[in-house]
Amino acid sequence: MLSKLHCFGLKGVDGFTVDVEVDISRGLPHFEIVGLADTAVKEAKERVRSAIKNSGYSYPLKRITVNLAPADMKKEGPLYDLAIAIGIIGADADNQIENFSSAKAKDYIILGELSLNGHVKPVKGVLPILISSRSAGFNKFIIPQGNAEEAKYIKGVEVFAVQSLNQAVEFIAGNLQLSALQGKQFHPTDAVEDGGMDFKYVKGQARAKRALEIAAAGGHNVLMIGPPGSGKSMLAKCFPSILPDMTFEEALEVTKIHSVAGELDYKKGIVSSRPFRTPHHSASAVSLTGGGTFSKPGEISLAHNGVLYLDEFPEYPRQCLEMLRQPLEDGFITVARSALTVTYPANFTLIASMNPCPCGNYGSKNKECKCSPSQIHKYLSKISGPILDRIDLHVEVDDVAFDELRSNKQEEDSQSIKQRVDRARRIQLERFVGAKNFCNAKMSVPATKRFCKLNEQSEQLLKSAFESLKLSARAHDRILKVARTIADLEGEQDILPEHIAEAVAYRSLDRKYL
């Protein structure tokens, strides 16, 4: 007999329909899975055989052929186990289960990995599969109980969570009643309450704090340069605490990526605070960009709608740093391999920190640099001009004096800074209503011309800076965007000369050191 069910596969963070066709015919006992399946899918036959027998059903000692269509799309992972097992039970004429037939399962998308005892284990990518399959016209799902929390955030669908193969079969047969999962409201998590750092613990560094406030308000990238121990890492770790709360749409985008990568906390079901990713400088190109044998998102995609922090910036391989060009400019990365081309979202804020020289003391007020000019130039030249051009704010961070460090003066906390950031973001949301971007850093060229108009005095100041610093066209545009953000923080409708002057001051490091 032949049975046909529906499952879903993943290509990047988007899903595609997979028809699970099971045929049982006479012949020597044999189990074959076809349809461009990877090793994890092919091994399903051992899991399915044991799960069926240990669930109390008879396993057919016949020729079993399972086809996963379309046959030209790569199928990865164990999420097809449950659909295959139900298909075999439905196609077996000798396995007479009361009221059960595979035809009743056609209305459902069935997902789940099977244990040998028939227990259904959670799988990766359930949330993006639900979103993609809903768009394809499906609205009923059978998923593992372990994936229930993430499924509760998707509206307009009926999702039934099962714990075992036996439960799934009895539910499809109508012998067991299960309630559809109840929807859940999204509530963003405050970064400080979630175990993050607070700016009130950072002594001094007023200029760096100001730069990070501008970066949070406008979505700009930041490079902090200074000696070891000056507080660069601490400043970066405090940065998420002043970022605007995630919207539900942003949270869904982030959760899709983390679900596909297998990094989602199944108990929470959704990523409710902005990601903060800190890959080590020994990270490979594939771990940063994504792809690999089993294609999955890299660090820059896992930082989508959040922060990618690269400490010791020049220590990263040159190839890895140059790979940041496309995502910093476009907000996504396309990973092209011989077997597959996948596009992952990668709209993140880059926070980078570095020493000014190999010993770290070049330019310090308190310590003497022991590096030669050639050593300093060689060290700093590891960062290319095109990458520096894509970083909006270059900030010098010097050592904190002892008296300032031991002072009882109360520093401004993250909540106070966040209020100004939120106010500036609301201005930008109103400005870009109906557009895809939501912050100044992502303005298109037409939007920059429209919203970054200058008066004569500001125009002359920008021209002088452009010619004296020999800036590129990209740097020119980024100065305008930063100035627009500074004006938003000040509540000014027009960009004033002082806003241009401050924005230009944050573009000087690449010329000063390199």
Domain-embedded: residue 111: yes
- Give the DSSP per-residue string, 279-295: --TT--HHHHHEETTTT
CA 356/CA 227 separation, integer angstroms: 7
**Inter-axis angle of helices 206-218 and 414-431, nearest 10:** 30
Are 257 and 121 members of one domain? Answer: no
Pick the range with the lowest mean pLDDT from 161-175, 337-351, 410-424. Answer: 337-351
Domain-embedded: residue 413: yes
Position 192 confidence tier, pLDDT thresholds 50, 70, 90 = confident
Are 139 and 249 members of one domain? Answer: no
Instruction: Please name the residue ranges forming H helices in 303-413.
Output: 318-322, 325-330, 373-380, 385-389, 402-405
Distance of CA 213 to the CA centre of its chain: 22
Domain that holds residue 136: 2-173
The pLDDT score that the predictor gives to residue 242 is: 95
CA 192/CA 492 separation, integer angstroms: 30
Burial class (CB in 10 A: 0-12, 13-18, 19+), 319: exposed
Are 262 and 217 members of one domain? Answer: yes
pLDDT in tens, 276-308: 999 999 999 889 998 776 678 999 999 999 999
The closest of 256, 348, 264, 342 to 310, measured between CA atoms, is: 348
Task: Report CA-CA distances (Å) from 45 to 1, 66, 121.
Answer: 18, 10, 16
CATH number of the structural domain spanning residue 225:
3.40.50.300
Are 235 and 356 members of one domain? Answer: yes
Are 222 and 104 members of one domain? Answer: no
Residue 273: pLDDT above 60? yes
Pick the range with the lowest mean pLDDT from 129-133, 154-158, 191-195, 491-495. Answer: 191-195
Instruction: Please name the residue ranges forming H helices in 92-160.
Output: 126-135, 148-151
CA 138/CA 145 separation, integer angstroms: 20
Once rounded to an integer, what is the mean pLDDT over residues 65-71?
95
CA 199/CA 410 separation, integer angstroms: 10
Are 291 and 351 members of one domain? Answer: yes
Are 226 and 151 members of one domain? Answer: no
CA 368/CA 125 separation, integer angstroms: 53
Are 167 and 215 members of one domain? Answer: no
Once rounded to an integer, what is the mean pLDDT over residues 105-126?
95
The pLDDT score that the predictor gives to residue 385 is: 86
What pTM value is reported for the model? 0.90
Cβ neighbours of residue 254 closer than 8 Å, sequence gap 6 or more: 246, 271, 274, 275, 304, 305, 306
Are 160 and 216 members of one domain? Answer: no
The closest of 339, 294, 301 to 78, measured between CA atoms, is: 294
Domain-embedded: residue 334: yes
Task: Assess contact for 281 and 312: CB atoms under 8 A.
Answer: yes
Position 512 confidence tier, pLDDT thresholds 50, 70, 90 = low
The pLDDT score that the predictor gives to residue 129 is: 95
The pLDDT score that the predictor gives to residue 381 is: 86
Residue 162: pLDDT above 90? yes
Pick the range with the lowest mean pLDDT from 165-169, 321-325, 326-330, 505-509. Answer: 505-509
Once rounded to an integer, what is the mean pLDDT over residues 79-83?
96
Position 440 confidence tier, pLDDT thresholds 50, 70, 90 = very high
Are 342 and 237 members of one domain? Answer: yes
Residue 84: pLDDT above 60? yes
The pLDDT score that the predictor gives to residue 12 is: 86
Asked which of 173, 189, 208 is the last residue of a domain, the reply is 173
Token couple for 293: 């044998």
Task: Report CA-CA distances (Å) from 161 to 129, 179, 260, 341, 342.
Answer: 15, 9, 19, 33, 30
Pick the range with the lowest mean pLDDT from 52-61, 344-353, 427-436. Answer: 427-436
Residue 448: pLDDT above 80? yes
Asked which of 416, 434, 452 is the last residue of a domain, the reply is 434
Asked which of 367, 402, 434 is the last residue of a domain, the reply is 434
The most confident of the ranges 14-28, 325-339, 430-444 is 14-28
φ, ψ (nearest 5 deg) of residue 68: -105, 105
Domain-embedded: residue 445: no
Token couple for 190: 């405050």
CATH number of the structural domain spanning residue 135:
3.30.230.10
Position 345 confidence tier, pLDDT thresholds 50, 70, 90 = very high
Residue 400: pLDDT above 90? no
Work out how many domains the chain is built from and give that number. 2
Position 511 confidence tier, pLDDT thresholds 50, 70, 90 = low
Task: Assess contact for 499 and 455: CB atoms under 8 A.
Answer: no
Place of tokens 């057919």: 60
DSSP assignment letter at 470: T
Domain-embedded: residue 184: no
The pLDDT score that the predictor gives to residue 398 is: 84
Position 457 confidence tier, pLDDT thresholds 50, 70, 90 = very high
Are 87 and 204 members of one domain? Answer: no
pLDDT in tens, 310-343: 999 999 999 999 999 999 988 999 888 766 788 8
Residue 191: pLDDT above 90? no
Pick the range with the lowest mean pLDDT from 170-184, 209-223, 290-304, 340-354. Answer: 290-304
Are 208 and 276 members of one domain? Answer: yes
Domain-embedded: residue 149: yes
